[in-house]
Structure 1
Amino acid sequence: MNLHIYEEVNAINEALAQYIISVGRQAIVTNGRFNFVLTGGNSPKGVYELLSTKYKQDIDWSKVFFFFGDERTVEPFHKDYNGLMAKETLFDHLKTPADHIFYVNTFLQPQDAAAAYKKSIDKHFEGKEPIFDLILLGMGDDAHTASIFPHTTLTAVTEADVQAVFVEKLNTHRVSFTAPLINMADHVAFLTFGKNKATALYHVLGPQKDYASFPAQLINPVRSPLNWFIDEEAYALCKQNS
Structure 2
Amino acid sequence: MIPWNRVHFFWGDERAVPFTDDRNNAKMACDTLLYKVGVPEDNIHVMRTDIEPEAAAKEYELVLQQFFKRNEKALTWCCSAWATTVIPYRCSLAQKWCTRKKHG
- The TM-score, its normalising length taken from structure 1, stands at 0.33
Give yes or no for the alignment of 1:79 onto 2:22. yes
2:95 maps to: 183
- Structure-2 separation of matches of 1:123 and 1:183: 16
2:64 to 121, 124, 142: 121
For the 8 Å contact 1:122–1:128, the answer to whether it is kept is: no
- Structure-1 separation of matches of 2:21 and 2:4: 26
2:7 maps to: 64
1:209 maps to: none
Gaps of 5+ in 2: 83-87
2:39 maps to: 96
- 1:200-219 matches, within 5 Å, as none
Letter of the aligned partner of 2:22 in structure 1? K
| Residue 185 of structure 1: how far off its partner (Å) | 7.4
- Structure-2 separation of matches of 1:123 and 1:108: 20
| Residue 127 of structure 1: how far off its partner (Å) | 6.3
Q: 1:128 to 1:86 in 2, by over 3 A?
A: closer
Letter of the aligned partner of 1:107 in structure 2? D
- Structure-2 separation of matches of 1:93 and 1:77: 17
The percentage of counterpart residues that share the same residue type is 29
2:85 maps to: none
SS in 1 for 2:21: coil
- Structure-2 separation of matches of 1:185 and 1:110: 23
Gaps of 5+ in 1: 1-57, 138-145, 147-176, 187-220, 223-242
Q: Deviations over 1:166-210 (max 9, x none)?
A: xxxxxxxxxxx7x5x253477xxxxxxxxxxxxxxxxxxxxxxxx
Give yes or no for the alignment of 1:109 onto 2:52. yes
Computing the radius of gyration over CA atoms, which structure comes out larger, 1 or 2? 1
SS in 1 for 2:35: helix
| Structure with more helix by fraction | 2
| Structure with more strand by fraction | 1
Q: 1:61 to 1:127 in 2, by over 3 A?
A: closer
For the 8 Å contact 1:72–1:80, the answer to whether it is kept is: no
Q: What's the Cα RMSD here?
A: 2.9
Say which is worse superposed, 103-112 or 89-98, in terms of deviation.
89-98
Q: Deviations over 1:125-174 (max 9, x none)?
A: 2368783614543xxxxxxxx7xxxxxxxxxxxxxxxxxxxxxxxxxxxx
| Residue 101 of structure 1: how far off its partner (Å) | 0.5
